[in-house]
Amino acid sequence: MSEHAGSMVVMLAALLLCASVAPLWAFVDELDDSLLETRRNEDIWLIKFYAPWCRICKEMDPTWHRIGSELKSVGSPVNVGKCDAIANAGLAKEFKVRTYPAIFMWKNDMKYLYSGPRTADAIVEFANRVSGPLIRPLTSPELFQHTLNRHDVMFVYIGASSLLKSEYSSVAQEMIVSTFFFSASRDVVPKAVSLPALPAVVVFKDGAYFSYNEASDGSLKAWIKRERFSNYAKVDNYMLYAMGDSGKLILLALLDDANVSQQNLRYKSLVWKVSQDYKDLYSRNIHFGFMEGNEYINGLIMGELQLPTIIMLNLSTDNYFLPPAPLETERHLLDFVDQVLDGSIQARGGNGVIQRVRRFIYDTKGTLVPLMTEAPLLGCFLLGFPLGLLVFLCFVCWKAKSDYGTQDDDDDDDDDQPIFSPRQIPDKKSD
């Protein structure tokens, strides 16, 4: 092969590479504040807000461009963009961006915050769920069964229009970010599903089903928040955060994923067995699951747990419970659960004043250390500015007090002078 022909091959390969990579980046728009004026109401946007100094934001760029390419390739109506929240404060303020990266779906007048795993598959599912119909109709028994097979947890409204359906729609409007909502007529639902009355809202999960009952379950929204998780599941950081909104306790086997041992397997098996054998007794009050690693839990409790272990969390009050003794048998685990429920075991943590101060210090340290590593100049400014301001205020107060004290001394000196000079005091003469 001649040198000229070789050069042509290299150039052709480079062009092919650019052609394959360029479209991936072309499906993500760089947005600015002008979007507030140019966006049409029918436009749907999936936006990632980032800060130039944010390391996680930069690491997420390839994933974000893959998301843009994937949604475009399937004909999704979702436009994918990213926005520098520091340079475009107007758009960031509109979405109330507080952390980076922050991911939002903008559909009609609603802004939906994504709080799940930062993976392409999870975000694409979020985009497809939120951009589609609020309540998806199941129009045939075959479609019902197909959908049931694809979802671990499925909420279905069954019946004609009613006040309950209006409430169901309102809940779906808010909670579409986290779960799907379906509707069906009675003849679509399997005959084996027994319904006491229509209309009804039914949840299908864990191979079973049960209906919403306002008298015993409270508000529909609170019930859906409690029941939108499987009774037992593998839990990650994002799922655990979402579970905190359910109002249930969370019993977790924390496993050492780097060192699989018999103790790991035993704790995992114990929690699973109790979740299955005592589902009717505990499922209303407790989520069960296992979690690999303890980094996230260490952050919650502001301490460090040895793995493997079992812990009970109450994320609505930031309390946690640890077994007072090793859990060797199922009976030991049941006793621990019952003692937590009846208050026999003292709760740790909490959200009292002292704990809030500790949390503030812990979170501040956790924020400043990465920031000082990634952007030391910005970190020094953020740390030095309030300290400098505090020193300045202390100096001003000290100076004002010092000046006031000097003025008082001058006044005291004036007070020490006699009112009359010796000449002015009349001499007493004896008659």
Q: Which residues are catalytic?
A: 54, 57
Task: Give φ, ψ of 233 to 5 degrees.
Answer: -155, 160
Q: Do 159 and 165 form a contact (C-beta atoms < 8 A)? A: yes
Q: Do 244 and 315 form a contact (C-beta atoms < 8 A)? A: yes
Q: Do 321 and 345 form a contact (C-beta atoms < 8 A)? A: yes
Element (H, E) at 319: strand 319-321
Give dist(CA 293, CA 342) in Å, integer: 29
Give dist(CA 104, CA 3) in Å, integer: 52
CA angle 150, 173, 61 (to 5 degrees): 70
Q: Do 51 and 85 form a contact (C-beta atoms < 8 A)? A: yes
CA 206 to each of CA 203, 209, 227: distance values in angstroms, whole numbers, following the listed order:
10, 8, 11
Please give the structure tokens belonging to residue 339. 């003692």
Give dist(CA 200, CA 309) in Å, integer: 41
